[in-house]
């Protein structure tokens, strides 16, 4: 999964000179926040607008397609799990057709109305331009070292 993210980031660097469109860090964070909100609110319509047909998520040591990943999160909610996410420390590379952002996802998990457990994940998301819309095609996620700042 890391090799795939490096390949995508390398492609973003190679394509930077090919486009005049600028995507700000704030725009990239807002785009990813909409994607996370679609999951947390189980908004299938928004999710389908924000992800590409070939979307892949690398989560919990497995590869998930767009439907499987949405259903994984929805199933966790149905079992009583609540997850709060936020995008922090973003690093963004973008050109006119590809946007890649790595970030620290800081949030918490609440299991069946128990106490909130603070969590941090290291994540990468890659979007490609589809007409006028940016659509996610790759998400990678791993838990961060709890001792890390």
Strands 117-130 and 87-94: unpaired
Give the global pTM. Answer: 0.80
pLDDT recorded at residue 147: 57
- Taking only the tens place, the pLDDT of each residue in 113-122 is 888 889 899 9
């Amino acid at each position: 999964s890391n090799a795939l993210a490096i390949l995508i980031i390398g492609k973003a660097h190679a394509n930077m000179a090919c486009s005049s469109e600028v995507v700000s860090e704030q725009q990239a964070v807002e785009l990813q926040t909409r994607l996370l909100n679609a999951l947390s609110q189980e908004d299938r319509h928004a999710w389908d607008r924000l992800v590409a047909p070939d979307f892949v998520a690398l989560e919990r040591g497995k590869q998930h397609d767009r439907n499987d990943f949405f259903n994984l999160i929805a199933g966790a909610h149905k079992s009583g799990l609540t997850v709060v996410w936020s995008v922090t420390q973003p690093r963004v590379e973008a050109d006119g057709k590809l946007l890649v952002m790595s970030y620290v996802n800081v949030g918490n998990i609440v299991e069946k109305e128990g106490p909130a457990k603070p969590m941090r994940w290291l994540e990468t998301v890659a979007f490609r331009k589809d007409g006028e819309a940016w659509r996610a095609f790759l998400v990678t996620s791993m838990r961060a070292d709890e001792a890390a700042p």
